[in-house]
Chain A
Amino acid sequence: DTGVSQDPRHKITKRGQNVTFRCDPISEHNRLYWYRQTLGQGPEFLTYFQNEAQLEKSRLLSDRFSAERPKGSFSTLEIQRTEQGDSAMYLCASSSPGRYGYTFGSGTRLTVV
């Protein structure tokens, strides 16, 4: 297993456009998380999936954000009508009950111009 994969690594988009990011977690991990990290800050929790069910959503996840995890495997995070304030690193992590620590992907850096 090569760990958590995120695609794309970088995305530059114009304000108002929609973007979609993908995360492929470690196959045996049933928990998947999305985080957002801005420069000089720690990651902030966005949402949590257990298998295919989205069980928690942060208040940071506005109506323009939607996440899915069909079939409990990979996950997508879509941002509609992007704003400059959406510019950040979007990190995906996976874990499994009883296993310690989360495995993070390398992130997708979004720049909204």
Chain B
Amino acid sequence: SQQGEEDPQALSIQEGENATMNCSYKTSINNLQWYRQNSGRGLVHLILIRSNEREKHSGRLRVTLDTSKKSSSLLITASRAADTASYFCATEGSGGGADGLTFGKGTHLIIQP
């Protein structure tokens, strides 16, 4: 079953604008990860934030985590056409990876040139 939901389900913005996607989850986690998926392809790992971290940066990506609200956000700054893809948040539980990752349904991001 899906762990939670990404919001919005779809987002269309102009190139150069910032894109923000949100993710909510239901159970306690060890870490939360964001992945990108281009149409018909596998997933690419973007960034991981541990349960004891509140914010993390990687290049144009900024991730926040609020464990009290069981939510996370992914910000992509200065978006590019190549950022067009589906973005998924995924949580890893406290089982040390044995249960794998639990994914949301994803946000489909379209960057208009």
A interface residue numbers (CB < 8 A to B): 4, 6, 31, 33, 35, 40-45, 48, 50, 55-56, 89, 91, 93, 95, 97, 100-107, 109
Determine how close the nearest CB of chain A comes to the CB of B7; give it in whole angstroms.
13
Complex-state Cα separation, A106 to B35, whole angstroms: 13
Say what secondary structure dominates the interface of chain A. strand
Which residue of chain A is the closest to B98 with respect to CB atoms? Answer: A56
The 6 nearest A-B residue pairs measured at CB: A42-B103, A101-B45, A104-B42, A45-B100, A104-B43, A106-B42
Which residue of chain A is the closest to B102 with respect to CB atoms? Answer: A45
Interface size on B, residues (CB 8 A): 25
Q: In the complex, which residues of chain B have a beta carbon less than 8 angstroms from the beta carbon of A41? A: 2, 105-106
Given A42-B2, A42-B106, A107-B41: A102 and B98 within 8 A (CB)?
Answer: no
Determine how close the nearest CB of chain A comes to the CB of B47; give it in whole angstroms.
8
| Interfacial residues of chain B within 33-57, with CB under 8 A of chain A in the complex | 33, 35, 40-45, 48
